[in-house]
């Protein structure tokens, strides 16, 4: 791999051992990807908060030792300097206000706090969400980024036109310290063209529909890039958030185009870069129904113990919608309703009165974490309901519960009645 003089000085250790370790990670990773060089980045989003699960493995709770081991692949505790690129922390393992509800002990909570403080001390912004683009991190078209979290990756590639591959903890930590990432994959113009055309032949109007379409795309295309044509598509940002998350769950989709809506596809032809699609796939009523059936594959019985809203982290409009649906009602005594959002948005939802409405009804608005990432559920949960295709894909596998997927209205009805009612 060709390195600039500055990159060579970082790799040689002239800028400290931690930066040299970061360069070693990037060079090895870049060579695996077949990258000929690195590219500058000033927007990195990674996950480097460590808690009890990591310290048990290392037998050590010092955040710098944990960062050196798990983020920089070094057995030695390195002297980590301030980050060089603008960097933010993704979703973490804990809600700082509601950690007891997650079943964490005081010692575990303190350990996570120490890890957060350490990251802040080296200059990482603690956005603590899987949706950094909802709380102020909005890269511009063409900007080279290094982001983790598959749903965020597909959002910024597709909706914002920024460029990132799906990075990992080590590559984002290395990018934070060096301001570099391998120039490969979706950083290159030629790899961003649509490979397949997906023709819409039934209405895709609601957020529920966009979840279903996303799940279908991932399942049929795996890691292709679809251009979505046909239909009268008029998505809102929340619809595209759900679409990408679902597509990156059932498959490895990192990017899609919608002519006239996403920034690199003024037309179908532009999305395809003048080529023919490898395949034209139809999304009609049959495909829709079949996908909904697959999303509900683990559903069993009608009793619902837990309703989860906010995967990816809920937008303000989603929190407001739940508040409106709950107004004057009460969550069933045997069911829990928890929403998940970034704490920056929870703050606005508190000021706007949405949190009060939800919590007066017996629900809870939690922040900065989620059940799938942090592996927690309300005690005794056997069956849950969600309006997120991604969450119903992962939570049954991670936590061994059964899952119902439906509209937000259906989920709120389940929370109020304790029962699942088919739409
Ligand atoms: Fe975010 Fe957790 Fe869903 S990380 S995308 S809320 S599984």
Give per-residue pLDDT as tens, 329-346: 999 999 999 999 999 999
Could you give the percent of the chain with pLDDT greater than 70? 100
In contact, 194 and 265? CB cutoff 8 Å: yes
The atom of ligand 1 lying closest to the CA of 312 is 5
Q: Is the pLDDT of residue 146 over 90?
A: yes
Pull the structure tokens for residue 373: 């990432």
The atom of ligand 1 lying closest to the CA of 340 is 6
Pull the structure tokens for residue 158: 């597709």
Residue 155 CA to ligand 1 centre (angstroms): 13
Whether this prediction's pTM lies above 0.75 is answered by yes
Closest-CA residue, ligand 1 atom 5, reads 312
What is the CB-side half-sphere exposure of residue 290 using CA atoms within 13 A?
Answer: 10
Residue 346 CA to ligand 1 centre (angstroms): 16
pLDDT in tens, 26-57: 999 999 999 999 999 999 999 888 888 888 88
H or E element in which residue 375 lies: none
Return the residue matching tokens 């979290």. 149
- Give the pLDDT confidence score for residue 53 in this predicted structure: 83
Report the alpha-carbon distance of residue 73 to residue 178 in Å, rounded.
15
Closest-CA residue, ligand 1 atom 4, reads 130
Residue 254 CA to ligand 1 centre (angstroms): 16
196-200 and 226-229 strand pairing: parallel
- Give the pLDDT confidence score for residue 50 in this predicted structure: 85
Q: Which pLDDT band, with edges at 50, 70 and 90, does 256 fall under?
A: very high
Q: Is the pLDDT of residue 423 over 80?
A: no
Residue 124 CA to ligand 1 centre (angstroms): 20
- Give the pLDDT confidence score for residue 401 in this predicted structure: 97
- Give the pLDDT confidence score for residue 77 in this predicted structure: 95
Rounded to 5 degrees, what are φ and ψ at 49? -90, 130
340 lines ligand 1 (CB under 6 A): yes
């Amino acid at each position: 791999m060709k390195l600039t003089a500055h990159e060579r000085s970082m790799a040689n250790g002239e800028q400290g051992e931690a930066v040299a370790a970061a360069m070693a990670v990037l060079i090895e990773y870049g060579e695996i990807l077949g990258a000929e060089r690195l590219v500058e980045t000033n927007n990195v989003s990674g996950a480097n908060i460590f808690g009890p699960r990591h310290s048990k493995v290392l037998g050590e709770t010092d955040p710098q030792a944990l960062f050196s081991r798990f983020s920089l692949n070094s057995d030695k505790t390195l002297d980590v300097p301030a980050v060089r690129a603008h960097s933010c922390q993704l979703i973490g393992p804990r809600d700082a206000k509601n950690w007891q509800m997650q079943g964490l002990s005081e010692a575990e909570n303190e350990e996570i706090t120490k890890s957060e403080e350490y990251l802040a001390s080296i200059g990482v912004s603690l956005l603590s969400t899987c949706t950094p683009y909802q709380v102020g991190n909005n890269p511009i078209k063409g900007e080279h980024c290094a982001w983790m979290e598959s749903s965020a990756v597909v959002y910024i590639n597709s909706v914002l036109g920024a460029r990132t591959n799906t990075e990992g903890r080590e590559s984002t930590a290395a990018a934070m310290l060096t301001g570099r990432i391998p120039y490969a994959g979706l950083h290159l113009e030629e790899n961003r063209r649509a490979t397949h055309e997906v023709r819409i032949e039934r209405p895709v109007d609601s957020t529920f529909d966009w979840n279903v379409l996303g799940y279908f795309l991932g399942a049929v295309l795996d890691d292709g890039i679809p251009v979505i044509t046909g239909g009268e598509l008029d998505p809102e940002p929340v619809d595209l958030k759900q679409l990408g998350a679902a597509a990156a769950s059932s498959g490895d989709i990192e990017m899609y185009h919608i002519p006239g809506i996403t920034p690199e596809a003024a037309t179908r032809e532009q999305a395809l870069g003048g080529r023919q699609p490898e395949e034209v796939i139809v999304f009609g009523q049959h495909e829709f129904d079949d996908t909904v059936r697959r999303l509900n594959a683990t559903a069993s019985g009608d009793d619902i113990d837990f309703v989860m809203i906010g995967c990816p982290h809920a937008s303000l409009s989603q929190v407001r919608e739940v508040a409106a649906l709950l107004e004057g009602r009460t969550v069933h005594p045997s069911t829990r309703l928890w929403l998940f959002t970034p704490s920056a948005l929870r703050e606005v939802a508190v000021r706007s009165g949405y949190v009060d409405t939800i919590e007066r009804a017996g629900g809870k608005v939690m922040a900065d974490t989620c059940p799938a990432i942090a592996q927690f559920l309300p005690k005794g949960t056997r069956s849950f309901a969600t309006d997120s295709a991604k969450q119903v894909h992962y939570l049954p596998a991670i936590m061994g519960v059964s899952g119902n997927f439906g509209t937000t209205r259906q989920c709120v009805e389940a929370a109020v009645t304790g029962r699942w009612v088919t739409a």
